[in-house]
Structure 1
Amino acid sequence: MANLPDKNSSYKDVTYWDERYSREQQYDWLGDFSKFQHLLEKVIKKEDSVLILGCGNSSMSGDMYRAGYRSITNIDYSPVCISTMSARYSHCAEMTWHQMDVRQLSFDDASFDVILEKATLDAIMVEEKTPWEVSPETICFIHQALTEISRCLKPGGRFVSITFAQPFFRKRLYARSGYGWSIQQHSYGEGLEYFLFVMTKGEALSPEDAELERKLLEEPEPRPANTGATQNEENEDFLSNIDL
């Protein structure tokens, strides 16, 4: 692909994205809306207010709008992305676009029925060498983002996270009682399997997930002797692992 960076750490650099979005028209991480529409229709109502994190130049917002979802707010930290996408969808009167950091959402508490991210958290974690030992810096970043997401959800609201990360590893980030949500998981894709997590605000963690949180806090699992290489090695293409 012409838009691949020289190294995976560039995926965390806004200048890389600004330059990429100035050239690239559209790219859908983990497949387009049609691949997981059947799952979203079960958890998102047409009248729900939806916030999309790290919208990028994906067609997902436009596809959702055409499918009848009207109240859609999009954020991305790339000003080039927001400028381009707001112009592209200027005809969609109820859809808005804002430059924003996922760790500092400038919305009031309980603003949204649904907050949706697709591969945004995956991109944040690209420098991690193994999912068994996530760096303190990345854990802090993710925790700040998830805290903001929980804050902005209405009671009964849903945080939908679409990822290529295996549930064993991703639930280790989401299973915190402090976020005040339950966790459900689904999957989609043929050949490559991707995962869709639904966190519902105001519901308690299941006994299984509460036990996972307890183990993570009190009895951290040791790293296996040999985990092998992961998708996040600097010499391996991150995109090749999340393209549908």
Structure 2
Amino acid sequence: MAHLPDDNSRYKDVDYWDERYKTEQCYDWLGNFSKFEHLLGDHVKKEDTILILGCGNSSMSGDMYRAGYHSITNIDYSSVCINTMRTRHSDCPGMTWHQMDVRQLSFPDASFDVILEKATLDAIMVEEKSPWKVSPQTTAFIHKALTEISRCLKPGGRFVSVTFAQPFFRKRLYACTEYNWSIKHYTYGDGFEYFVYVLTKGEELSPEDAAIERKLLEDNEATPISITTTQRDDKEDFLSTINL
């Protein structure tokens, strides 16, 4: 595949993405919007203000706009991506595009009803080598991102995370009283399951999820498992080689 990097660590390199976006037209990690659209109806309203993190050149923003979601803000850390997508969707009033780091969102507190990411947090994990320990650098990166996401959500707002990561691992990231949200999850996919997590700002963790947080606080060294998959939908397989 023309855009496949020599090493998975390149997925964290903005220069790699800048070069890729100069020629690649569209790529959808974990399937396109139609694959999980049915799950969003109960959680995302057409009139909601929506922020999409790490939008890339995915068709998702355009598909959501055509489905009636017209207040969409998109961010990505690649300027090439943002410039290309802004031009491509110039005929979509209410859709905006900004170069931005997910760890430092340039929006006021309580700006959005919904914040949505699809495989963006998965990509942050590409350099993790051990199935038993997430590096302090990655842990800090994700914590900064989730703190910013929580800050920018309105009371009652929803963070929607679309990922290949199973609840055993992903709840270890999300089950944190500091973020001030509850956690629900759903699945989609034929043959291989993907996961949609819906985290609602201002709701308490369930007793089960609160127990996860307590266990992690008690255990200074959490031991995440390695997820091995036989996923074939994506031609690029970095997701199946990340030790989560």
Contact 1:129 1:230 in 2 (8 A): no
Contact 1:130 1:230 in 2 (8 A): no
* Alignment RMSD: 1.9
Q: Do structure 1's residue 104 and structure 2's residue 109 form an aligned pair? A: no
Contact 1:26 1:58 in 2 (8 A): yes
Contact 1:8 1:237 in 2 (8 A): no
**Residue equivalent to 1:86:** 86
**Identity score, percent:** 76
Deviation at 1:222, TM superposition (A): 6.6
Residues 2, 186 of structure 1: CA spacing in aligned structure 2 closer, same or farther, 3 A cutoff? same
* Structure 2, unpaired ranges of 5+: 230-235
Cα distance in 2 for partners of 1:92, 1:200 equals 28
Deviation at 1:240, TM superposition (A): 6.1
Deviation at 1:230, TM superposition (A): 5.5
**Residue equivalent to 2:151:** 151
**Residue equivalent to 2:118:** 118
Deviation at 1:241, TM superposition (A): 6.8
Cα distance in 2 for partners of 1:138, 1:16 equals 19
**Residue equivalent to 1:95:** 95
Q: Which amino acid aligns with 2:156?
A: G
Contact 1:131 1:169 in 2 (8 A): no
Cα distance in 2 for partners of 1:106, 1:41 equals 28
| Post-superposition CA distance 1:174-230 (Å, at most 9, x none) | 000000000000000011110000000000000000010000001357749xx7785
Deviation at 1:55, TM superposition (A): 0.1
Contact 2:110 2:153 in 1 (8 A): yes
* Structure 1, unpaired ranges of 5+: none
Helix, strand or coil for the counterpart of 1:156?
A: strand
Matches within 5 A, 1:39-58: 39-58=39-58
**Residue equivalent to 2:219:** 219
Cα distance in 1 for partners of 2:44, 2:222 equals 38
**Residue equivalent to 1:12:** 12
Residues 70, 194 of structure 1: CA spacing in aligned structure 2 closer, same or farther, 3 A cutoff? same
Deviation at 1:130, TM superposition (A): 3.8
Residues 38, 180 of structure 1: CA spacing in aligned structure 2 closer, same or farther, 3 A cutoff? same
Q: Which runs of 4+ in 1 moved over 4 A?
A: 220-224, 227-231, 239-242
Q: Which amino acid aligns with 1:3?
A: H
Contact 1:166 1:195 in 2 (8 A): yes
**Residue equivalent to 1:193:** 193
Q: Do structure 1's residue 175 and structure 2's residue 175 form an aligned pair? A: yes
Q: Which amino acid aligns with 1:206?
A: S
Contact 2:122 2:239 in 1 (8 A): no
Residues 171, 86 of structure 1: CA spacing in aligned structure 2 closer, same or farther, 3 A cutoff? same
TM-score, normalised on structure 1?
A: 0.92
Number of residue pairs the alignment of both structures matches: 236
Deviation at 1:116, TM superposition (A): 0.1
Matches within 5 A, 1:222-233: 223=223
Deviation at 1:127, TM superposition (A): 1.0
Q: Which amino acid aligns with 1:40?
A: L
Q: Which amino acid aligns with 2:113?
A: D
Contact 1:183 1:200 in 2 (8 A): yes
Helix, strand or coil for the counterpart of 2:158?
A: strand
Cα distance in 2 for partners of 1:58, 1:146 equals 22
**Residue equivalent to 1:207:** 207
Residues 222, 94 of structure 1: CA spacing in aligned structure 2 closer, same or farther, 3 A cutoff? closer
Cα distance in 1 for partners of 2:240, 2:63 equals 24
